[in-house]
Structure 1
Amino acid sequence: MSRVLIIESSARQQDSVSRQLTQTFISQWKAAHPNDQITVRDLAVKPVPHLDINLLGGWMKPAEQRSDIEQASLERSNQLTDELLAADVLVMAAPMYNFAIPSTLKAWLDHVLRAGVTFKYTETGPQGLLTGKRAYVLTARGGIYAGSTADHQEPYLRQVMGFIGIHDVTFIHAEGMNLGGDFQEKGLNQANARLAQVA
């Protein structure tokens, strides 16, 4: 049995393309792996706080010096990190907002990219500690950006995943969602065709 962690980040609900892709992924994954455990964390419904002084204090201070707020911030970060550590497969559903990712997803990443936990510093440079995991990134984009200099989403997430040791990363883009007509249909069809190959 594998554990699958799904991170939703679209602010939209029923009309969200990235959420549609997630539901397709879940349906196909369950059919292929009925015994796997799937956990969904929805950052739009239940956002995690952005990095602040309380979380920094929770990370850096010994337990006896932490305030109650710092301790609570640390425990929240620990919960998010533990979910990631326990997962064999990570799925991030990420619409493109202003050429990059939603701030809610960035906040989640700030909680789980932790020195000594998901990566460590060595004499030869940082070393990721989450080797052996797979990641899938399901994106929805208003225009067509793959391979262009305007795409600050895929390069960033590849860098972040590699930094913590996840190098097996598959991106599935639904592009042209705001272009209408044939562009939208083609983008969805291509994304769904890629999804059909995943499970």
Structure 2
Amino acid sequence: MFEDFINLWDSREEIRVFVKNHPIAGGILFVFLQALQVIIAPLPGEVTGFFAGFLFGGIYGFMLSMAGLMVGSLISFYIARFLRKKFFKKYRQSPIYLKVKKIFYKHGLTGMFLLYLFPGFPKDLLNYLLGFMPVSLKGFTVVCFLGRIPGTFALSLQGDVVYGGHPQSIILVTLTFVIVFLIFLLIKKRIEGWLEKDPTT
């Protein structure tokens, strides 16, 4: 895998030239792969989000990544909704489903928005689980879209900076991500405590 990344690094300019020469085909292919990643999750979303910036640049990569994420998320949501009986039997006793259900009925879409924000939370699975909840398509779309923006933009920006190969920029962005992650760890317990807290008490 390391050798594959080295080969990608050595060919990065040629890849971006190809993408610039075929913006529509390249963009459509990436959106398709990103959506597929959400539906069947063959790769962590962090990987594809990073490569979006690496291959397409920070802004364009972010837009393509979000497009793919939303297409895949909506398909996952509809799969769970229309095949509810079959999928529900599989997940109804799952600890993560029970946790999501508890948070949803306590805090509604606000709680779901925070779950999409959480680094490391299985957002692709969350798309399916929300298909079991009494949430409208509009509500799901808004929460999923807004909740995915910060992490997706950060990954795309990181990929773009690494592509540039400037040591100072890479160090600066890495330190920023580390600081943000440490802050998240510090407030994670408080957020989880708030989500678990009964609002009637």
In terms of fraction of residues, the more strand-rich structure is 1
The TM-score normalised by the length of structure 2 is 0.28
Structure 1 or 2: more helix by fraction = 2
Instruction: Compare CA radii of gyration and give the structure with the larger one.
Output: 2
Q: Whose RCO is larger (CA < 8 A, sep 6+)? A: 2
